[in-house]
């Protein structure tokens, strides 16, 4: 079966197309991708969350042909907290 492993950055992405056995899991895909690209290796070592087609999954989840395995990097800033800070600044100016 063919699956794609993706790690997205703000302006770019790493995308690897892999051929795996039919009974492969997310973990199997990540192990194969680990040896193919240093960026994937760094993301896995950082403990990134993993999803398939935008849905968080466990690493032992089974894959199907055509699946897109996504590595989710941690957020740099909490969007809610960032919005609160902007609102406080705006109200302080008013």
Return the CATH number at 7.
3.10.20.30
pLDDT digit string (tens) for 62-94?
999 999 999 987 777 777 888 888 888 887 776
Domain that holds residue 64: 2-93
C-alpha distances out from residue 38 to 9, 70, 76, Å: 14, 16, 21
pLDDT given at position 12: 80
Greater pLDDT, 9 or 6: 6
pLDDT digit string (tens) for 16-50?
999 999 999 999 999 899 888 777 777 776 678 89
Residue 50, burial from CB neighbour count under 10 angstroms (0-12, 13-18, 19+): buried
pLDDT given at position 94: 63
Q: Domain total for the chain? A: 1
The pTM is what?
Answer: 0.74
């Amino acid at each position: 079966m063919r699956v794609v492993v993706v790690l997205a950055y703000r302006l770019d992405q790493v995308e690897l197309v892999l051929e795996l056995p039919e009974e492969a899991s997310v973990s199997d895909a990540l192990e194969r991708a680990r040896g193919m690209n240093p960026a994937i290796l760094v993301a896995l070592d950082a403990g990134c969350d993993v999803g398939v087609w935008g849905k968080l999954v466990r690493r032992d989840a089974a894959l199907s042909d055509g699946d897109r395995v996504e590595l989710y990097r941690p957020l740099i800033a909490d969007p809610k907290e960032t919005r609160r800070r902007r609102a406080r600044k705006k109200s302080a100016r008013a």
